[in-house]
Amino acid sequence: MKRSFDLIVIGAGSGGLAAAKKAASYGASVAIVEGDLVGGTCVIRGCVPKKLLVYGSSLSESISYSPSYGFGFDNLKINSKTLLANVKKEVQRLNELHEEFLLKSNVQLLKGWGEFKNSNCIVVKNRRNGEILNELYGEKILIAVGGRPKRPSIEGAHFGWTSDDMFLLEKFPNKILIVGAGYIACEFACILQGLGVEVTQLIRGQNLLRGFDGELSSALSEAMKTKGIKLRFGENICSIKGKPGELIIRTTSDEKFDSNGLLFATGREPFLEGLRLDQSGVKISNNKITVNNENKTNISNIFAIGDVTNRINLTPIAIDEGRSFADRIYGNINRNVNYDLVPYAVFSQPEIASVGMTEEKAKELIGKDKIKIYRSIFRPLSKSIPKKGSKCILKLVVEKNNNKVLGCHMIGENASEIIQMASISLLLGAKKTDFDNTMALHPTIAEEFVTMR
């Protein structure tokens, strides 16, 4: 079936959905092509199901504190099978909800995998048998297919899971090896440990979370070790043998690990496979689609947003890129995404969240003698009775010359919620005196940001 649209969006993830609905709201005829569930990585196998697992796994720590508050729980049992099943149900519900939103927005959803026939034509295929389901012609085409996990090229790598696979499991293993030092590795290490899994994490370098504030990263390392997670720094896997459920993993230092499962959390890359970009003329560089500040590729009618451009790979970035694209093209509103002061969070246990310059980056760009660091380290009130659990660290990075707050960083309870609001202050150019003059809300963790002296 041949059909024509003002806009064809390839990929119904966060960015693609935002662009499609916004464009349709301006009166454009829009088709969106998706071969998987609607919602993309974030909804199906990323942020949302991961945080549901975080909520589930964090209960074990909360319950361990319960005797201090007068509650007793005996014979506590964790059933990861039940948790995973309930998470899958919620993902399916969200998929159906997103499909309803598309219908209400007058966006045509076409199920199947899209590939370029030329710069104006997308062929939609059934990936299983290659059957052509639709042939679409678009005045403009937006590529929003996102990214996928990377798997290393080592012996037996097929035995390992990626983050995508973790949400498809029926239950978690008793013992797991996690490879990586980033968001996904740390988050899953904490999730699985909280669900009773024996966790060993292998880190190639000497630190967790490259790019985050070093003091906070070190604090997370200590907290994870206290929980019972085994962190092995300076280790690289060289081979994996055995069979599913019974793996023997060797490292370049000739260490041997036995494990029931292995998770590769070693990064992600743009998902370009199957797009047939060669048919469109769109150029790629370093396995990513290169775009200008208006998300336009080298082909004038083809645009790309989100992780496929491999710039700042975060869901809110993809969403705003999608909306700003539609605003410019169909709404006659000339705006671009503001990439300054993007807040970040790692949903480890405890959480880490940051906005602005880290202490290390400020020293590098501005100078050690030109900045001042304010910090507060304390045990939160929720841990004062059980006298267990990690401490909170709150930090402000301030430029001495103008008293401007350059960075705001935190590890501890509700860090992500607190830093989201702090982001507004930094975006408005807040100075340390503005924080000082803000009335504290007591007793809270967040008040420490306005009482630091």
- Burial profile 407-429: b = 16 or more Cβ within 10 angstroms, e = fewer: bbbbbbbbbbebbeebbebbeee
Do the beta carbons of residue 32 and residue 101 sit within 8 Å? no
What H or E segment, with its residue span, contains residue 421?
helix 415-427
Do the beta carbons of residue 352 and residue 346 sit within 8 Å? yes
Q: How many CA atoms lie within 13 A of 351 on its CB side?
A: 19
Do the beta carbons of residue 180 and residue 162 sit within 8 Å? no
Distance CA 253, CA 237 (A): 9
Q: Which residues are catalytic?
A: 442
Omega of the bond prior to 350 within 30 degrees of 0, cis?
yes
What H or E segment, with its residue span, contains residue 256?
strand 256-259
In this structure, is the dihedral angle defined by the CA atoms of residues 136, 141, 146 and 151, taken in order, positive or negative?
Answer: positive
Distance CA 139, CA 116 (A): 14
DSSP for 313-361, please give it: --HHHHHHHHHHHHHHHHS--------TT--EEE-SSS-EEEEE--HHH
Q: At what angle do helices 183-194 and 47-65 cross, to 10 degrees?
A: 40
Residue 450 phi/psi, 5° resolution? -110, 5
